[in-house]
Each structure stands twice: as C-alpha cells, then as structure tokens.
Structure 1
Amino acid sequence: MGSHGKGHGCTHCGCENPVWNALKHTVDLKAFAGKAAGLLPEPGSESLVFTGGTIYPLIDGDMTQRVEALGIHGGDVVASGSLAEVQARMKARGIRYQTRPLGGKTLLPGLIEPHAHIVQSCVMEGWADLGPIEEKTQKLKDPYDWAWLKETIQAKLATADFADRSRWFLGRMVDPALMPFTESGQPGVLNTLTAFYCKADFAKDTDTTDTTGNLDSIVSDRPLLMISASMHTVYLNTAACDVVYHHQNKASQALRDTYKTYENFLSVTKGNLQEEAGITPALLSIPLVQALDVVNIFKYMKDYFQTASSRGITLLYDAMVDPTSKMILEAYGLTHPRNLRIGYAASCNGVDFSHIPPYKPVTKEAARHFYQGSVKLVSDGSNQGLTGYQAAPYCCETDRPVGNFNFCDPGPDNTTPQALPDAYQTTLNSAVATGWPLMIHANGDRAIEFTLQAYKTALKGKSGLDKRHRIEHCSLLTPRTLDQLQSVGISPSFLIGHVGYWGYAFENAIFEDKATRMLDLCQDALDRGLRISLHSDCTVTPLGPLRSMEQAVTRKMEGKRENGKFITDAARQPVLNEGQCLTRQQALKAITYDAAWQCHADQWAGSLKDGHFADFVILDQDPLDEKVPASKIREITVRETWKGGHKVFAQ
C-alpha cells in the first residue's frame, strides 16, 4: 500500500481512475435522469461547396490525394474532386448550395482521439492542477520541480477560497517522474526520482523542515492530498494522514486493521497510499462539501468537449466507461449540444461480464452521437508511475521492482512469472467469448508478452483483425512481440507522449537503454503492416492530435533539462530512436483514417468519402507541408471544426 517514499506508481493510469471509483457514489442518478427529459434536436447542417485551399479527403487512406473542392449536404459528404465535378454532383441531386472559399487554408477529415477518459477526467477538474504539462501550449511547464510545487500550492492556500482551515487542499496530476532525478552513475546502483513524504522526523508532532519532498513543509495546519498523474498514488501530509487513519469509515478501518498504530501507519507509508485499498479511505475522508463538487460535472464536461473541438477533434473514444459514467454521458448528450461524436469501451474488471450487453456491430445511425465499440481490460500499470509490468527491474528506486500485473496467480509479491498466469488466460477467454472487440491496457514488456500469448490462445487461430482487437499504450516492444502483433492480428495504439514528455526520464533514469531500444516502436509496427493510432490518454496528456502527430514525427525528448530548466529549443532537444520517427503522412493517417478504423468508425468517419459524415477541420497551415517545421505542428491554428455539416468551433 505504501511506497516507502520511493515508489511513484499506480496500479493502472488514466485507464482506471480511483477518484471516480470512490466518488461516483455521490452522483444522484435520479437527478441526472430528470435532467435528461428533453431530447435536443441535432443542429441543422449546411449545404456548401468548399474550395480555394488545400483539401485532403484521405479516401481509402490515400494520403497523397488532394482535391479542388468538397461538397456537403444533410450532414454528409456529397462529393470531392474538381470544382466542376463537385458542382455537377450537387446540381444533379437538386441541392441548393453556397460556395465557401477556404482562403488558402487546409481542410482535413476531423481528427480522432482514440483513447481518452471523459467523466473520469472531469471529476477532478475542480482540484488544483499540479501537472507538468501546460494545457494551452501542450508543452512542459518550466520550471517543474519541488520549489515550483511548493510555491504553487502555498499561493493557492493564500487565496480567500482557503480561509476556512477545515478545507482540504486537493491537487491533481502531480508527476514525480518529470521532476529532476538523480542518476547514480554506477553500475548496479539505482537512480532516484523525486519522492514525496510526510512527517520526516517522527520525534516531533510535525516536521516543517524545508527539504525536497517534505509535504509538511508546504502546509502543516490543514490536510493536503495530491493524486499522481498516473492516477494510483495519493500523497498526504501529516494532517491528512491523521484524518484518514482515524476517519470512521470501513476503508479507514481496514487501514487500522493493517497498521495497528498511527505511528506504524506513518512510518511505513510516509503518506504514500496506493491502489484502491489505500486511495479509497483517503478520498472518503475528504469533507463532503468538497467531494460533492462532482455535481458540477456537466460544466466540466462542457469545457472538456469545447477543448476537444478547439483541437480539431470530431470523434472522441472513451477508453473506459462504467455504467454510471455511461448514464452521465447519455444525460449530457440529451441536455447539451453535441459538438463531437463519442464512442466508448465498456469497462470490465476481468471477472464479471454480466453488465456487458450482447455484441452489436456499430452502425452509422447508432454512431451519430454515442456508441459502444469495444470492451476494456487493464492488465498492468503505468511506466512513468513505475507500475507497468516489466521483464526486468526498473533502473530507479521503487518498492515494486517489476511493477504490477492485475491477473497474477497467487504467489510472492514483486516477482515476475515466466509463464502466462492462468487467471489472465481465463479472463481473456471469457472476454473474447462476449463477441466484443477488446481494448487491453498493457504497458510493460512482460504485460504485452502475456497479453499477446493470451490473445493467441483465446482467438483459437482466428485473426484479431476480424474484431480489430487492440493493445493500449503497447509501450515497450521487441522484434519478437512486434512479430506476434502481426501474426495474431492485434493493433497497437501508442501513447506517444511517453516519448515526447517522459522519453528523457525513461532513457536516463527509469529504463535506461531499454527505452532507446523498445519505447513506442511506431515505424517498426508500420513496417510489419500494422495499423496504428496515436492517443493522449487524457488527462495523462492533454487532448491534442496535432501534438501527437508532431511527437510521432520528431520524437524529440522535451523533458531534458539544462541548468535546471527544460530545453525549449527544438533544435537542441535530443531524439529518442530516430529510426522510429514517422513521416508526416504516416502520423496524420494515425490520427484520422487508421484511428477511425481502430474505433470501429471507418464506415462513416476518418475520411471525406462520399456518404461519410461531414466531419472535418480547417487549419491555418498544412501539416503535411515541409515548409511548416515538424516541431511546430502542434502550434498550427485550428480555425474551424465541423461535425455533421455544422460548425461547432471557430477560432
């Protein structure tokens, strides 16, 4: 449960949010159902012919085709081609239209986010953002270190919001893996990441010594709780530990059963609580008035969707939807304008599949607003959280040397089974038997190996391509596991921010040369004919397909520091495994055409084929134009976003 001040991990990552699991009981389902009384009509679509710019229809995945014009009507694409051809098609159908000049701008199919978490992200939106990534620019905050964290928290505590000293300080997205680390420089000696702890001097009631990581030196007179960016560790100061340990709820009672005295609890955990057993009592100890901020979830969701539209996203695929969040998403769609389409994977704990409905292929009509495309399982943890399940130990200090696997057969902790656990194979057999396509979270190389073995047995000789089964993150690969992906027919979706944001920490502190050889082997996957996508796992990294495209093309390690500051000059940022850089066309295909295929949406999205939804984005610059520096792709302005022939965002 505790990390002894050295581990920074979580059991999962954004794929299973413990805050949502703990607080969703506060949602009044009847109240939400009442709000969903009236169905909002779909916004009216326009009849237009776009011309006078660069138009890439991406029909059948052709990344080289450019057309002169695009015609839309009734929310769908009517035709693309020369202006004369499009005008003739519109006239033949008796469509009265207006011509819309693009003014030299670039029109593309709507961008697709194939793996994010909507409700689970929004539930914490009212907490202080302590993350390392600036939301607006999608670049690393500078500085991002202990001094910044302390200054940021104390500045917020000085505001009127915290005049009431019973109010907890709640922070989200704090990330020790992107704070300065110490390289041992000696073979066999582990590197050290920044560690957070409380009450370093147990001879005193509190210790406010200003040393790196001591949370009591930030605030000691009220509870402080921060949750890690990788989502399965909370960090508490002594005041929070005191409340959590002595709180009268069943989860805190379980803590008292484990740690017989408060002093033992502090000395073992140092305020680091992990996984559901540790996080739940902490969250249930938060004052109800703060926990119930979940009632603002519709406001936070509106902001979330507006951000998505501003980034050119027209289809967002939620990678883990439980029954409560499904109801909230449905209620939102009935009471708010729907400015993007949402697909989702139904969450499953790997044991109980009773809530999974019978399989139905996705239809265009069903997918107009909200559709289920798959079922989600989570096999291991987070690599930057030091809980991705590895074949060899991490190169930095952690109390879980090889991470976590969620389906191990009974046995000693912190060991790496050489054989596939029977429990995991049984789970995969049951999951495949539902008939649904699967999305399986597997980060570490051993977790990926086990997942591919289990897929192969469960599929009984059939190709995974038949259902478009996926592995999520699929971070650490070898030539052998890439060959297995190809032979079993499993598609990878890469959290490419691992390279851009954490690549330097992976290469120099967490994995060392293993990161150079194995992290996000995008080009090797394409060389084997695999169809890949790029995702954000939002809120682990921000929504931003163009940023994902840039990071896949450049593989620049933005996390390298010089004189204590991140190097912001792209020309001086090192590249992680240059041979894995994608071309611009390959990366764009991964956030449009192939992402639609992975999300079971290619029959109506991902390209501007005749009859597809008129979902597209208009950009100020052409991301395929080499005149635009590759390191500036994320900075291209999204001028307009259209869904179903209706403008949902304008800059």
Structure 2
Amino acid sequence: MTVTVYPARRILTMDPSQPEATHIAVDGDRILAVGGRDAMPADAVIDQRFADRIILPGFVEGHSHALEGAMWDYLYLGYFTRRGPDGKDWPGITSVAAMQECLREQAAHLAPGEPLVAWGFDPVYFPGQRLTRSELDAAVSDRPVVILHASLHVMTVNSVMLEQAGIQAGPKVEGVMCDAQGLANGELQEMAAMFVVFDALDDNLFEAVASPQVLQRYANIAAAAGVTTITDLYNPMTDAAIEAMIEVTRSRDYPVRLVPAMGVLGWSADEGISRLQAAMAHNHERLYFGPAKLMTDGSIQGYTARLKWPHYHDGHANGLWNAAPETLMELVHAYHQAGLQLHIHTNGDEAVALMLEAIEQALTLWPRADHRHTLQHCQVIDHAQMKKAQRLGLCLNMFANHIYYWGDIHYQRTLGPSRCQRLEPLASARRLGIPVAIHCDAPVTPLGPLFTAWCAVNRQTASGRQLGQHEAVSVAEALEMITLGAAFTLGLDDRVGSLEVGKFADLAILDEDPLAVDPMHLGQIKVHATMLGGRVHEVS
C-alpha cells in the first residue's frame, strides 16, 4: 500500500514526547511517522492539500447523543439561535408568545390529529413562569403537543396529550407535576414521567437512534465539527438500535468512530450486563460497544438535579432521582463487578456524593485497577469530592458549554454567585491529576469541540460575565481535553486522541492555529476537513 505524507503549516500532536511536527505519514488507516520532512519515508507520495492548514488529532466528543441526528426532524424552539445540519438558521425563541406562534404555524402544516413535537424550549429563561398545558392549549388544542425541554430531562404537553396518556387527573408515576387542584399541569419531569407520553404516542424519541439515517446525519454533523470519535451516551440498546449501529458503521465511508453507552435504567442488571457483553462481539474499528450509562439525577436549570444544602439558590425544591438511591448503588455494584465501565450522569453535587459512595463500596468489595468509571457533567462537584474522585481513580467529563448557555441563570437563580465560582472546576481537577474531558451534550447544546474549548478557556456566559476565573484552563489544556483526555475516558487512548506512530490516522484539519489566535476567537476557527483512518472527509 502506498504511504502518503501530508505536510502542514503546523501539526499539534498531543504526544508529550513530540508535541509538534510539520509532516505526518499515513500507511493505510494508521500513522506511520510524525515529525519533520527528514522523518518521512523517502519513497512516499506527498499530498500538499493541507500544506497551509493546521492538523490536530481528530476531536473526541465523549458525551453527546445520537438524538442530535433525530431532533432536526422536529420543530426547534430553543432560546438561542441555532444552525441545523442543512445550514438553515433557526432563530431563538425569546418569549412564550413567540413560541405559541411557532406552534400554530407548525400545526397548520400537519395532518388533522397528527402530534406536534418540538424541542429545545427552556422556560428557565422566562422568570416567574413555568411552561404548562395552559400555554400550549392556548396555541394548539386540536392535537397532541409535546415539547421536549432543552435539558432533555423535562417535557411539557397539552391537555390533549395528557388525556391520551391517561394522566390528566394527576400522577401515576413520579415527575407528573400538578396544579393547585391536583390535576396534571402538563409538566413532566425526568424519564419515568416522560416515558408515559412516549408510550401513549407509541413513539419514543430516545429510540429514534435505531435508524441508520439518524446515525448517518449524526456522524455528518460530528465530522463537520472536526470530530472523528463520538459517543451516544444513552443508547437504548434495543435489538433494532444495535442492528442499526452495526449496519451504518459497516461502511468505510462512515466518517466517525461510534461509541454507544447503553442506558442502564432500561434493563434489569442481569439483562443489561448480558446484552452489553453480547454486543461487544460486534466491535470493529468504527464501532465500540462496552460503556454503560447510568442516569442518577436531572438538570440544574430544569430544577431536577439533586443539590446538597443549601439546595437551589432561589428556594426551589430539590430535584429528582431517576431511580431510588439504593437501586442506583446496586447498579453501580453490579456493572462494576461484571468488569464493565460506567459513565455516570451526576449534575448535582448530592448525586456526585451518592455515586462516590457507591464506587468506593464497589472498589472495596471488588478491587479493579484502571476501571475508568467516569462522572459526567458533575457541574458543581466540590473540592473534597474531587479529592475523593482522585483517590478512587475516577475520570471526570465536565459540561463546559454550561458556563455560556446557563451561567447567567445559575448565577442569578439556581446556584448563586458563590457556587458559580466552582462551576465546571476544570483547573482544580487538573491540579489533582484527575483525567479530565469536556463535552457539549448535543443536542442539549450544539456539537462543536472548539466552542467547548472556548468555554473552558474563557469561562464567559452569554451576557459576557466571567465565572470562576481560577478554574480557567489554557488553550493547550483545553485542546488536550477534547482529544486525548476524552479518548482516555472512553478507553480508546491507545488508538485515538493523539498523533503517534501506530494509532489510527484520525485528523482534524483546521483553517487557523488554535495556539496562535486570540483565545476569544478559538470557538470560531473553521474546520476544513477530517480524516478517519486515512480517508479524507471534506467539510462543506
């Protein structure tokens, strides 16, 4: 096979032994050499197409969801303007009245009785009110209306949908919110309540990922952002979902490596472990079954995260558990004992405390070296908890984008000024030597690792307020967290995340040098192309 050498203006390798280079040699799907021209094979073909570009390892998105590939089939109602995969700009919805008008317009294009599904709405941006069935009924009352909130942990439905789901008279499961008369007000918090609606619709949005078309769109969105390895961090792992992932990744043209993490709460411990172990037999270079995802609490901005005292800054009641704490601990023990890796959703510090206790117990009962259990989000993890995480050998993957999108809300309403200084405490975690990654949680926020790095470096909210200057990291550190750091949390750092001899030839090719531009410009750098295993994928 012909060896191809790619010169570049600068190559940032993430290899501590050789941080920079000017040339990289690719043999098939692997890196053969990295360095200067003199380190390249003499008989190699020289490909100059990236000679004026900057090459990095392909970005690794360690926490996002293939649901990003499905949601654009529905109406976007988010507060921030957002660009869809087709290049269309969706304007931000900044009032309830504007939201209602969008619903009316969408309903006019649907068949009679067809459910209207929308996503991205965030009532936390509208102080003094929650979104209830009353606001939705005033807009559309002749069909079911379902709005999945931006956090993906809350939805609001109209009266038609409540009646169809059989919950208009009040809770049948935890999370069905009620009005003063004890009737369901349309707000449904967390998975148990939302799944009542999915069952009534016979259409579970979280299972839309069991579609090759959705998985292909997801991969295309990722590649356009420079990503070459991406997760689906709450995959239902139904037979259909497994079959779809195997089918779509079989193509050599699939532009990413896909790492699904099975949603633990969808199965009994024995069923889930058996199913996940069986799926691992289908692993290949573009598909890696293995991780499991445990959902503990909800979201801080959705008021469903579990916070330690003093709980919510504005006095709101504490959030919900997605399963009883003792059940969550038992699941940690079961998956740990089975030798599997857990990625654990812990938005609030009370959820962090519970999971640290569970993992400590598991390690005491069944010691394991290099388990790489990873706490996900852990937005307000405190310093004592980080020290314990370090002692237990945990990884942390923090939701840096939260600083921009909800930092102002946290400062004013949910957390208050003091706790906001440790929001996403990246610098502290690195000082303790904890393996750290950062993520976007798409579709909760847009998929774009360079913007995520921008958030970690600049720590600016949407209004321009800086939160937690002592937790800021350097550009070089942020780049490591979206490449090798994230790869480590997935157990793939021996294959991806840095440009080293023997690793996959996975590259992100950029128009500008992230170490040379103003750090405020970091999130605006354009991705020119990606390479996955030696195959170039142009970005339009």
For 1:254 and 1:334, the matched residues in 2 are separated by 48
Displacement of 1:110: 0.4
Counting only pairs closer than 5 Å after superposition, residues 356-505 of structure 1 correspond to structure 2 as 356-357=273-274, 366-392=283-309, 393-396=311-314, 398=316, 401-408=317-324, 422-460=326-364, 466-505=370-409
Matched, 1:641 2:530: yes
Structure 1 residue 359, shift from structure 2 partner:
9.0
Letter in 2 for 1:592: T
Alignment partner for residue 154 of structure 1, among 74, 95, 104? 104
**Does the 8 A contact of 2:62 with 2:438 survive in 1?**
yes
Distance 1:550 1:291 in 2: 31
- Assess, with a 3 A threshold, how the Cα gap between structure 1 residues 576 and 331 changes in structure 2: closer, same or farther: same
Residue 328 of structure 1, aligned match among 237, 240, 244: 244
Percent identical among aligned pairs is 24
Q: Deviations over 1:178-212 (max 9, x none)?
A: x232xxxxxxxxxx4x311234xxxxxxxxxxxxx
- Alignment of 1:112 with 2:60, yes or no, is yes
* Alignment CA distance shift 1:293-1:442 (3 Å): closer
Q: Secondary structure at the match of 1:354?
A: helix
Residues 95-116 of structure 1: CA distance to partner in whole angstroms, max 9, x if unpaired?
x423325342101110000111
Q: Which amino acid is 1:346 matched to?
A: M
**Contact 1:132–1:140 at 8 Å: present in 2 too?**
no
- Relative to structure 1, is the Cα distance of residues 291 and 370 closer, same or farther in structure 2, using a 3 angstrom cutoff? closer
Give deviations 1:238-273, integer Å, cap 9, x for gaps: 33334433xxxxxx69969799xxx99985322223
1:579 equivalent among 451, 467, 470: 470
Preserved contact between residue 463 and residue 488 of structure 1 (Cα < 8 Å): no
Counterpart contact for 2:209–2:235, Cα < 8 Å: no
Q: Distance in 1 between matches of 2:119 and 2:34?
A: 46
Q: CA 1:256/1:132 → structure 2, altered by over 3 Å: closer, same or farther?
A: closer
1:130 and 2:44 are equivalent in the alignment: no
User: Alpha-carbon deviations, 1:19-65, whole Å to 9, x = none?
Assistant: xxxxxxxxxxxxxxxxxxxxxxxxxx9742111411112224x6x82
Where structure 2 has 5 or more consecutive residues not aligned to the other structure, the ranges are: none
* Preserved contact between residue 144 and residue 161 of structure 2 (Cα < 8 Å): yes
1:117–1:539 contact (8 Å) kept in structure 2: yes
Q: Give the AA of the match of 2:496.
A: A
Q: Say which of 133, 140, 146 aligns to 1:225.
A: 146
* Structure 1 position 144, deviation (Å): 2.4
Q: 1:315 is matched by which residue type in structure 2?
A: T
* Distance of 2:427 and 2:243 partners within structure 1: 39
Q: CA RMSD in A?
A: 3.3
Partner of 1:568: none
CA gap 1:74/1:322 in 2 versus in 1, 3 angstroms: same
- Determine the structure 1 residue equivalent to 2:263: 347
DSSP-derived class of the 2:361 partner? helix
- From the superposition, tell whether residues 265 and 579 of structure 1 become closer, same or farther in structure 2 (CA, over 3 Å): closer
CA distance in structure 2 between the partners assigned to 1:287 and 1:97 by the alignment: 55
Q: Which residue is 2:11 aligned to?
A: 55
Cα pair 1:464 1:489 within 8 Å, conserved = no
Question: What is the SS of the residue equivalent to 1:59?
Answer: coil
Query: Helix, strand or coil for the counterpart of 2:345?
Result: strand
Post-superposition CA distance 1:159-195 (Å, at most 9, x none) = xx22x33222211121112x232xxxxxxxxxx4x31
Match of 2:120 in 1: 173
Relative distance call for 1:529 and 1:367 in structure 2 (3 A) is: farther
Alignment deviations for residues 505-526 of structure 1 (CA, whole Å, 9 cap, x no partner)? 0110111135323311000000
Match of 1:278 among 182, 185, 193: 193
Alignment check: 8 A CA contact 1:499 1:557 kept: yes
The structure with more radius of gyration: 1
Verify the 8 A CA contact 1:241 1:266 in the aligned structure 2.
no
TM-score, scaled to structure 2:
0.89
CA distance in 2, matches of 1:67, 1:550: 24
How far 1:494 moved relative to its partner? 0.5
SS of corresponding position for 2:288: strand
1:72 corresponding residue in structure 2? 26
Distance 1:323 1:241 in 2: 28
| Residue identity matched to 1:280 | F
The CA deviation string for residues 549-598 of structure 1, in whole angstroms up to 9 with x for no partner, is 0110111101x3xxxxxxxxxxxx11011111110000000000111111
Q: Secondary structure at the match of 1:317?
A: strand
Shift of 1:74: 0.9
Higher relative contact order (CA 8 A, sep 6+): 1
Find the aligned partners of 1:597 and 1:253 in 2 and give their Cα distance: 47
Q: Is the 8 A contact 2:10 2:54 kept in 1?
A: yes
Listed one character per residue, the Cα deviations across residues 425-466 of structure 1 (whole Å, up to 9, x for unaligned) are 433222210111221111111110111122112111888761
Deviation at 1:423, TM superposition (A): 4.1
> In the alignment, what sits opposite 2:498?
607
Q: Distance in 1 between matches of 2:421 and 2:171?
A: 45
Q: Secondary structure at the match of 2:389?
A: helix
Q: CA deviation at 1:77?
A: 0.7
In the aligned structure 1, how far is the partner of 2:408 from the partner of 2:388?
Answer: 28
Secondary structure of 1:394's match?
coil
Does the 8 Å CA contact 2:10/2:20 hold for their aligned counterparts?
yes
How much does 1:300 deviate? 2.9
1:198 matched to which residue of 2?
A: 133
Q: Secondary structure at the match of 2:25?
A: strand
Query: d(CA) in 2 for partners of 1:253 and 1:148?
Result: 26
- For residues 383 and 73 of structure 1, do their structure 2 counterparts lie closer, same or farther at Cα, with a shift above 3 Å needed? same
- Once the two structures are superposed, the pairs formed by residues 219-258 of structure 1 within 5 Å of their partners are 219-245=140-166
Amino acid at match of 1:394: Y
Give 3-state SS (helix, strand or coil) of 1:504's partner: helix
SS at match of 2:396: strand
DSSP 3-state at the match of 1:518: coil
Matched positions, count? 529
Letter of the structure 1 residue corresponding to residue 304 of structure 2? T
Change (3 A) 1:541 1:87: same
Decide which moves more: 372-381 or 489-498.
Answer: 372-381
In structure 1, the partner of 2:41 is 87
Amino acid at match of 1:55: I
Q: Give 1:297's aligned residue.
A: 211
1:328-377 alpha-carbon deviations (Å, 9 max, x no partner): 211222468321111232332284233324998x99x9551111232221
CA distance in structure 1 between the partners assigned to 2:483 and 2:459 by the alignment: 20
